[in-house]
Structure 1
Amino acid sequence: MTSAAIMGAGSWGTAFAAVMADAGTDVTLWARRAEAADAINTERRNVAYLPELQLAERISATADAAQALEGADLVVLAVPSQSLRGNLEQWRDVLPQGAPLVSLMKGIELGTHLRMSQVIAEVAGVPLAQVAVVSGPNLAKEIAQKQPAAAVVAAPHHGLRAKVAEACAAPYFRPYTNADVVGTEIAGAVKNVIALAVGMAHGLGLGENTTATLLTRGLAETARLGAALGADPQTFLGLAGVGDMAATCSSRLSRNHAFGLALGEGQTLEEVTAQASQTAEGVKSCRSIVELARSVDVDMPICDGVHAILYEGWGPQEMVRALMSRSRKSERV
């Protein structure tokens, strides 16, 4: 029987713990706060994030990282992307030798421009072949309600992909496999920025034509960056690409969409950040994505516009004008 340590008891970490338990995997969930771990063990609920989700008995929780990791066959990392390096540096010496490391995170690291799998390999001192990525249209609240959903397990080798997929194949959660780690991670990171843009558009009162335009051109930006980094173009037409973008950009369950919506309605970055109870990954990753794109000479005007709103003092209407006044060109460029 497979056992997994899930490092991070936020919404997605908790929902994924439920998925793995329903797939027959024994799960130890690491929570940053001891009181959260105690509540999970006694009340079978994570009250702070998914209070409606009744957690299975095969899930236990602890605030002791070494205890969570001891003997795990799989280590699943589910912390905010920009805190991954710091957390892994603390856990590195107690990671189970040879265990696959699975990333649930969607971001590009500030400063280094590394994808999450690259950060994991570098800090943990393991080969990239030991790292897998799970991505796709997976809004945590809907997964917690056991609504049917699918995801992609990306890893360099078939054996690792198959092992992770088997450990999370629940009756309502269908994992597909993909060898394209680069494309899967780039799609997951960039869609958060596009979701901010769509949320802003909705905050401005703009409708479905604008939404569809941002989704389509946002996907084009994502694919351009992915291609420059060696990704498989087909990845962006699948669950990790258009699937995840459609869910994140269209749903008000999406933190990035909600954050963008508030900006579009006129709140400042500081006001929205102060009110947010959970991390909107696109806010910080936007900067590293724009820098990464410039380093490989890839044009990403929507991401540039979001960056200008977040960090250069633009308003959402200025972004609209900038996008609509760009010089005309072929759609396929």
Structure 2
Amino acid sequence: MRILHTLHWVQFAGTEKVCVDLCNEMVKEHQVYLLSQEEIRPYLNDEVHLIEFDFEKNRYNPLFLYQTAKLLEKISPDIIHCHNTKEIEIMKYAQIFLTKKIPIIATKHTLQYKKKYNLADLCVAILEDTKQLLKQESIIIKNGMTYQPPTKISRPDKFYIVLVGRLDKMKGFDIAVESLALLNFEFECHIFGQGEEQENLQQQINRLKLQDKVLLKGFSNHINDVLYSCDLQIIPSRFEPYGLVAIDAIYYAPLVISSHTGISEQILPEVLKFENNPQFLSDKITEVYNNYDNFIYIFDQIKATKDCFSIEKMASSYLDAYQKLINSYYPN
């Protein structure tokens, strides 16, 4: 199969990781092309054909659409898989200039309603909540990711807490920082990620006099090693459309606790979840600290299910969906 993925690069976050992992897995047995920006190249298998493409151009400009159509003719994909609304529009409108139309499948990665998803021939929701936003034919394929064997790294000699994600208000890191100020035992917390809330978080850390206990560590390409070496991962998100960071936890962390959101709400037992305010979270962290072995045992039962979230399973589900769509698009 000749597969074309399209990805409007913003930063390397959840959507980008899903797309990259799919490309790298599918290229093992198929021809895979990716329209995106050059910044994504370090994350791609060398066998994936990266074509630099500017999705910021006017998607209603006939010349741009004609040039896109010529590119599609050259690639000649069996199917186009879009990961963003603007991409769907460009890929659909460009086909005005094509004699043979190409089926489009689109993944809905967020909980924002976008009516342009009705331009796709088939939509994929990542969770049941996402599916409810889609007004057209859709299926659910839950996200997975590529497992990378971790290595123990140097870590603090105190109870080591880790948070991972984009530094965005939605991620709830401010709630976590506030809760950490209420703890009565020795710990060190590292927050990995970049984003617009970095300055606000640092000011909050300073205000609460946590500079020696809570450190903003920036982006890391080795988060699997970090999680593998920590004592506890916390997911304090206000909401998550899915929350790949929970799958990171199942793959690598010895223990995770999470707010009631995204995939965590489905896969974690109540004892590993908390109401998302500083006092409740502080109480949960303290409970974990005082009963650590018991919590490790509980989470081990969840970790035993990690193969359910493999990239192989997710890619297989997508490939089945591709083939069914192609067969219905070009009936014999």
Shorter-normalised TM-score: what interval?
0.3 to 0.5
More strand by share: 2
More helix by share: 1
Max Rg structure: 2
TM-score after normalising by structure 1: 0.34
